[in-house]
Chains A and B, each alone.
Chain A
Amino acid sequence: EAQVTQNPRYLITVTGKKLTVTCSQNMNHEYMSWYRQDPGLGLRQIYYSMNVEVTDKGDVPEGYKVSRKEKRNFPLILESPSPNQTSLYFCASSLSPGGNTGELFFGEGSRLTVL
């Protein structure tokens, strides 16, 4: 089954404790990206990757890091989480490098709470 898998789905952590949210896709997609969803703000792009070893900042990259060492994986790293990073996070992938064929495939989301 074609899917984007995120882990963990739910996480409660404390300020400053490094964490990683993993994202894996099995569709051989070149394009992957991370979003955060907050009430009243919709989805905002954090980082995206056009291909292995190619990453770039989205609209809200502060406080986050990513890496793309393999085509299928695109982890999101919070080196020192803060309460303002409490949010619902989505990983998504798309077939074409440009992403403009439109279909982003989303994971089920990871709800992160930073105390």
Chain B
Amino acid sequence: GNSVTQMEGPVTLSEEAFLTINCTYTATGYPSLFWYVQYPGEGLQLLLKATKADDKGSNKGFEATYRKETTSFHLEKGSVQVSDSAVYFCALSGYTGNQFYFGTGTSLTVIP
């Protein structure tokens, strides 16, 4: 079946540090992959996506590359800011596109 595994948190970084949040997936067919971000007290919002192998999604300085060979979609940012403090969810949309599968979320806190 389909599933997403992402690194456990919480993660605490100093401002301007490099961020990596690991995400691996199991899926049948050719899923689409996403990163969603949840700021405190809010619903999730799409951060970036990739719909096929070797695609790179990017937004607000965040990047993730769809690696079919390693079934991974790791999130990276070169220099985090305090405003990036949030919970990050890796997700996939299954082959039929009807269901979304989310990881458990990784909480990021960036300190000045």
- Interface residues of chain A, those whose CB is within 8 Å of chain B, are 4, 33, 35, 40-45, 48, 50, 56, 58-59, 90, 92, 96-104, 106-109
Contact = CB atoms under 8 A, between A and B. Distances in A.
A59 B98 CA distance: 12
B97 interface: yes
A48 B93 contact: no
A98 B97 contact: yes
Contact of A100 (B32, B42, B46, B101): B32
Given A96-B97, A98-B96, A90 B43 contact: yes
Contact of B43 (A59, A101, A106): A106
Nearest to A3: B43
Interface residues of B, number: 25
A106 B44 contact: yes
A28 B87 CA distance: 28
Nearest to A38: B104
15 contacts: A33-B100, A42-B102, A42-B105, A43-B102, A48-B98, A92-B43, A99-B93, A100-B51, A101-B32, A102-B32, A103-B49, A104-B36, A106-B45, A109-B42, A109-B43
Nearest to B104: A42
Interface of B: 4, 32, 34, 36, 41-46, 49, 51, 89, 91, 93, 96-105
Contacts of B32: 100-102
A98 B31 CA distance: 12
A45 B99 contact: yes
Contact of A42 (B43, B49, B89, B98): B89
Q: Which 6 A-B pairs have the closest CB atoms?
A: A98-B97, A100-B97, A106-B43, A42-B104, A43-B102, A102-B49
A46 B91 CA distance: 16
